[in-house]
Structure 1
Amino acid sequence: MSFLRLQPRLHGPALLLGSALASAAFLLMGVPAGMLLGCMLAAVLLATQDMDVQVPAPLFAIGQSVIACLMARSLHFEVLHRVAGEWPLFLGIAFSVMAASALLGYWLMRSGLLPGSTAIWGLAPGAASAMVLVAGDFGADTRLVAFMQYLRVALVTAIASLVAHFATGVAASPEHVAPGWDVQLAHWLHIQNPVHAGLTLALVLAAAWLGRTLTFPGGPLLIPMMLGLAMDNLSPWKLELPGPLLALAYAALGWGIGLRFNRAILEHAWRVLPRVLVAIAALIVLGLVIASSLMFFADVAPLTAYLATSPGGADSVAVIAVGSAVDAGFVMAMQMVRFFMVLLLGPRLSRWLVQRLSGRNAA
């Protein structure tokens, strides 16, 4: 590492090589969002060595826009129709999970170990990468939010895989959710409809520009998501995200998050790790309680209920749901409703909780 520190021109190639190796390892192990996590890990390792590598702002904006379109593609018409028909159930369950995470975040925030609303966003049960992006718009420490979010995703994903194994007798393991390298490479390079892919790329670029131009909280995600929903559901064209474009997005987001870490932040995160682990464990238990109510009062299958109320990232939950004998549409609908609820109510809830705590301290 000292050699690389003396050779600044090697920092970029080192980041690329480290990202490729870490991503390959995660993908071989069947880890959900393996490329994003691999790039983030490589970036963290470089940042802890005080290496000066930065992600260009336009590239990061394009990455945000691609992730937003990826989420919009999951909200096809059938899912939206189901949410509209059963909206009290979806809103009630989504609000219960969000309220549980907010209470736990408030408890962690009262400890004074985390700045501002970082604890609230760190436990927000939405898509992890999206929550990290939105948290920065509201003054939270995105490095600590990323640490809490991805630790939560990793733990919840591992537990959900075990639950899927014992509930169905088929583990949500790499051989079930991750095909071989030849299949993966062919899938990532394949373009089903060049016209749709070209229009999607144009939408991504335009939305990225609008997201940077129109400055309002959550705009870089909400703008491309709304445009993507309109294109995918209201036009004759469909969102198509080729593998290289997804790879670019995962890399940009992973690097953008990971390069913000330094030794001081990691030492700080290590000090608060016990409380964070307790909060995540409590959130998982509360999710089980909510899933039980969904089973008894809505007659939802146990594994479907568990994955639908799981506080893990929506992407990792989707991978496990597809590889298990569950109602994947119901699971994704519940995850997306909760994501939108966190985006819409999360900022207000965070401000209210911070103000409440400030008032108590002043008294």
Structure 2
Amino acid sequence: MSAPNPPLTSSGQALRWLALSLSAAVAGQALHAVEVPAGLFLGPMLVAIVFGVCGAGLRLHKNVFRFGQGCVGLLVAHTMTWSVLMSLATSWHIMLLATVLTVCLSALVGLGTVRFGGIPGHTAAWGTAPGAASAMVAMAEDYGADSRLVATMQYVRVVCVVMVGALVSHLLGATTGVSQAIANAAVASHGNLVLGIGVILAGVAAGAFLPAGALLVPLLLGAALQLAGLLTITLPSELLAFGYGAIGCYIGLRFDRETLRYVWRRLPSMIIGALVLIMLCAGLAGLLAALTGADFLSMYLATSPGGLDAMAIIAVETHSDAGLVLAMQTLRLFGVILTGAFLARQIIRLTAPAAPRQEERDRPV
């Protein structure tokens, strides 16, 4: 085992943060300039992965990540109108069906990962669950799973989902561009901007207690204030770019050298499992789009397995049905949280040897 790196001085750490910030900004702006969907998010994420794997030893504070989620939530709230809400209300049965099928597909992929990928059942059960990665890792630790493997499986899938989502959006010819909320920011009133930031900060506070609360609270509160005529949602492009970059860097920095070394032999199985789940969900999206008449890209983003905030970013930038995407992603998030323990037990029961099954059965819920 190699000796640990000496602790960084404050100036050395500041220089690394500066290098990360500049590199992430340049990468994000470069991808955005060539109209890569969610380029402002994707560029910083890829740069942060490189920094993490190269041993930079940086960790972004969770509240910065939550602030970024709040920016995305408020931006999506801008798309919420009474007509959008009525459309979502009439499609509740489709969203429920898609949620159930996506959860079942993830459980099926979890079984396959155990059978053919050599990953322990209790780890695969949580690692393939298509919910909020942080929530799945926390719940997995409570049930005795290997949190490093679970976290890596979750974030590998998020990276795969984002990369494939951006590619699919590009291949389908989706146009990218900033929201009208950004375009109007220059003429926005100071009061609206202050109130909007207050809504984002409320989400940051809620994120400590509610799964994905940093995104959902600004979404719900911002939409309510907008529908009531109390808030005109505006976000300066610089603020939104910072929010996108914060989410991307937080995810990317989770991939450090130690974790990569630990999971290296299992990494191919994780990537294959993530891609198989993405393809199954894409097939489900095609079927639902054909049945409902919705456009394929919106349905694809809505059924993509995980990465609620990332899918929201891509949906907004490609002018997809952001309301449908967020509604289905949120419904699945809570569905996974409520059924995660049950599905994990079933995967463990189906994959564990006969002797350990009683031990798993006796584990408290």
Following superposition, the deviation at residue 200 of structure 1 comes to 0.4
State the AA in 2 paired with 1:88. H
1:159 to 160, 168, 176: 168
Instruction: Report runs of 4+ in structure 1 exceeding 6 Å deviation.
Output: none
Q: Secondary structure at the match of 1:177?
A: coil
Equivalent of residue 205 in structure 1, options 201, 207, 216: 201
Aligned pairs for 1:43-58 (under 5 A) are 43-58=48-63
Q: Within 2, Cα distance between the matches of 1:20 and 1:138?
A: 34
Aligned to 2:363: none
SS of 1:113's partner is coil
Q: Which amino acid aligns with 2:254?
A: R
Q: Which residue of 2 aligns with 1:338?
A: 328
Question: 2:280 aligned to 263, 267, 286, which one?
Answer: 286
SS at match of 2:78: helix
Alignment correspondent of 1:249: 243
Contact 1:39 1:254 in 2 (8 A): yes
Give the Cα separation in 2 of the matches to 1:287 and 1:54. Answer: 32
Q: 2:119 and 2:290 mapped to 1: Cα distance?
A: 39
CA distance in 2, matches of 1:314, 1:27: 16
Residues 316 and 98 of structure 1: is their aligned pair in 2 closer, same or farther, counting only changes over 3 Å? farther
Gaps of 5+ in 2: 141-146, 358-365
Structure 1 residues 89 and 106, CA gap change in structure 2 (3 angstroms): same
Separation (CA, whole Å) in 2 of partners of 1:73 and 1:218? 18
Q: What SS is found at the alignment partner of 1:190?
A: helix
Work out the CA distance in 2 between the residues paired with 1:94 and 1:308. Answer: 13
Report if the CA contact (8 A) 1:79-1:333 is conserved: yes
Change (3 A) 1:354 1:63: same
CA contact (8 A) 1:147 1:269 kept: no
Which of 347, 355, 359 is the equivalent residue of 2:337? Answer: 347
Tell me what 1:315 maps to.
312
Amino acid at match of 1:250: Y
The amino acid across from 1:113 in the alignment is I
Contact in 1 for aligned 2:200/2:218 (Cα 8 Å): yes
What TM-score, normalized by structure 1, do the two folds share?
Answer: 0.75
Contact 1:144–1:265, Cα closer than 8 Å, also in 2: no
Question: Quick one: which amino acid aligns to residue 248 of structure 1?
Answer: F
Give aligned pairs, total. 331
Q: Match of 1:264, SS?
A: helix
Cα distance 1:358–1:284, how it changes in 2: closer, same or farther (>3 A)? closer
Confirm or deny that 1:41 pairs with 2:46: yes
1:60-115 deviations in Å (ceiling 9; x for gaps): 33223223323333333222101212322332234323432343234325645378
Deviations 1:15-55 (A, max 9, x none): 12221222123223322222222222222222223223332
Change beyond 3 A, Cα 1:60–1:284: closer
Query: Aligned letter for 1:159?
Result: V
What CA distance in whole angstroms lies between the structure 2 residues aligned with 1:178 and 1:67? 15
2: CA distance between counterparts of 1:301 and 1:59? 35
8 Å CA contact 2:302–2:326 kept in 1: the answer is no
Structure 1 residues 129-187: Cα deviation after superposition (integer angstroms, max 9, x where no partner): xx33444443454444222112122124323533x2xxxxxx33xxx4259xxx99x94
Provide Cα deviations, 1:204-246, integer angstroms capped at 9, x if missing partner.
123323433xx24343333333322322223432322222221
- How do 1:1-363 residues align onto structure 2 when only pairs under 5 Å count? 7-108=12-113, 111=117, 113=119, 116=122, 120=126, 124=130, 131-139=132-140, 141-162=150-171, 164=172, 171-172=173-174, 176-177=175-176, 187=183, 190-212=186-208, 215-268=209-262, 270-294=264-288, 297-298=291-292, 300=293, 303=296, 307=300, 311=304, 314-315=311-312, 318=315, 322=319, 328-329=320-321, 332-360=322-350, 361=352, 362-363=356-357
- RMSD between aligned alpha carbons? 3.6
Kindly indicate whether the alpha-carbon contact (under 8 Å) linking 2:38 and 2:166 is maintained by their aligned counterparts in 1.
no
Any gaps of 5 or more consecutive residues in structure 1?
A: 165-170, 323-327
**Given the superposition, is the C-alpha separation of residues 26 and 123 from structure 1 closer, same or farther in structure 2, using an over 3 Å criterion?**
farther
Structure 1 residues 252 and 307: CA distance shift in structure 2, 3 A: closer
CA distance 1:292–1:317, change in 2 (3 Å):
same
Secondary structure at the aligned position of 2:119 is classed as coil
CA distance in 1, matches of 2:15, 2:297: 48
Determine the C-alpha separation between the residues in 1 that align with 2:340 and 2:215.
Answer: 19
Q: Could you tell me how far 1:199 is from its partner in structure 2?
A: 0.9
